């Protein structure tokens, strides 16, 4: 079941609601530059286990509206709040992949985790995607600047290069083509604007300490985009957090080890219910 939710004047985001009658709700926030379809395997596996799975396309991506502005973490966290309130969601698990994980963290800090009982971070781009003088574990700033430049000059080439970094295990050519198309569904200005936000966003370091719900951190040890030390920094900064390394995964752990991904997420939710 898909529908649109208005998040501000003339801006609507697309939401896919799978198994609306499920007893437990998981709201998924996709990574850059994809959309909710990246979770299609999790939707079917988790729905079969009785979960309600909601996939939201961030503004500028997938089937959502593509305004010229509004691609900072604060505004995108506000969009999540609009979805949570519109759907009257309570006691949910908020899950985010990569940049979606960073936005989920901002949501928890900015909106005091409204409606959220559990947080799940998948290869999250936090506390910093790029290298900083006090945090040497991220991507080189020049590499990000090149991503932005190629977005405006040869976006297909940029997306192809990103796809080559994404997976650790073998994927077929048709699967690679499908993943490539997810990125093309975004607006090029949104793709570039979110990448630019990586450069400016430093408040995630302090956001980590504001999270006060049980948090699951799933991260591939071979991740070339959000390197594994980012997960260790998340574990150190978030109270009541659990880090599960994925030893046969890169950035695309939800594809590289999809069965393990589903198992760890479902067990985490069930364990929290008994706390």
Give CA–CA dist 219/234, Å, rounded: 11
Taking each helix axis from N to C terminus, what angle separates 155-166 and 173-184, rounded to the nearest 10 degrees? 130
User: Would you call 93 helix, strand, or coil by DSSP?
Assistant: strand
Give CA–CA dist 254/160, Å, rounded: 19
Give the chain's end-to-end CA distance (angstroms, integer). 32
Name the β-bridge partners of 201.
Answer: none
Structural tokens at position 71: 């691609």
Q: Is 11 exposed, middle or buried (0-12, 13-18, 19+ CB in 10 A)?
A: buried
Structural tokens at position 244: 């599960």
Given the structure tokens 């932005």, which residue do they identify? Answer: 148
Q: How many CB atoms lie within 10 A of CB 160?
A: 13
Q: Are 96 and 128 in contact (CB under 8 A)?
A: no
- Rounded to the nearest 10°, the torsion over CA 203, 208, 209, 214 is 160
Residues catalogued as catalytic: 98, 223, 251
Q: Is 221 exposed, middle or buried (0-12, 13-18, 19+ CB in 10 A)?
A: middle
Structural tokens at position 172: 């077929």
Give CA–CA dist 224/162, Å, rounded: 10
């Amino acid at each position: 079941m898909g529908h649109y939710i208005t998040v501000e004047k003339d801006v609507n985001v697309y939401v896919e609601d799978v198994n609306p009658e499920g007893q437990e709700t998981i709201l998924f926030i996709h990574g850059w530059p994809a959309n909710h379809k990246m979770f299609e395997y999790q939707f079917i596996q988790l729905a079969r286990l009785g979960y309600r799975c909601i996939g939201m396309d961030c503004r500028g991506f997938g089937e959502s509206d593509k305004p010229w502005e509004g691609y900072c973490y604060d505004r995108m966290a506000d969009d999540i709040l609009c979805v949570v309130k519109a759907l009257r969601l309570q006691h949910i698990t908020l899950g985010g992949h990569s940049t979606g994980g960073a936005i989920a963290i901002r949501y928890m800090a900015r909106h005091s985790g409204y409606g959220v009982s559990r947080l799940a971070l998948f290869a999250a781009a936090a506390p910093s995607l790029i290298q900083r003088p006090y945090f040497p574990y991220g991507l080189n700033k020049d590499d990000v600047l090149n991503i932005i430049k190629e977005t405006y000059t040869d976006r297909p080439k940029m997306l192809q290069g990103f796809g080559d970094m994404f997976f650790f295990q073998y994927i077929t050519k048709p699967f690679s083509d499908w993943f490539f198309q997810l990125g093309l569904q975004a607006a090029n200005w949104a793709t570039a604007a979110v990448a630019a936000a990586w450069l400016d966003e430093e408040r995630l370091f302090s956001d980590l300490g504001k999270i006060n719900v049980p948090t699951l951190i799933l991260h591939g040890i071979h991740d070339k985009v959000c390197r594994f030390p980012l997960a260790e920094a998340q574990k150190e900064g978030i109270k009541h957090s659990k880090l599960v390394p994925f030893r046969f995964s890169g950035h695309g752990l939800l594809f590289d080890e999809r069965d393990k991904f589903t198992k760890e997420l479902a067990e985490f939710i069930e364990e929290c219910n008994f706390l």
